[in-house]
Amino acid sequence: MEHTSYHLQDGERPSTAVVNAIADHEDASPDEIGPRLYDAVDPDALDSLFRPRVDGQVRIGGKAVFSYRGYEITYESDGMIHITDDTDTPSGASETAPADE
Question: Three-state SS for 23?
Answer: helix
Checking DSSP bridges between strand 80-85 and strand 3-7, what pairing results, if any?
Answer: antiparallel
Query: Lowest-confidence range among 16-20, 51-55, 56-60?
Result: 56-60
Residue 87 domain boundaries: 3-97
- Between 85 and 100, the higher pLDDT residue: 85
Asked if the bond preceding 14 is cis, omega within 30° of 0, the reply is no
* 76 pLDDT higher than 80: yes
Distance of CA 76 to the CA centre of its chain: 8
Q: Please give the pLDDT value at position 95.
A: 52
Give the whole-angstrom CA distance, residue 77 versus residue 94.
Answer: 16
pTM value? 0.79
Instruction: Say how many domains are in the chain.
Output: 1
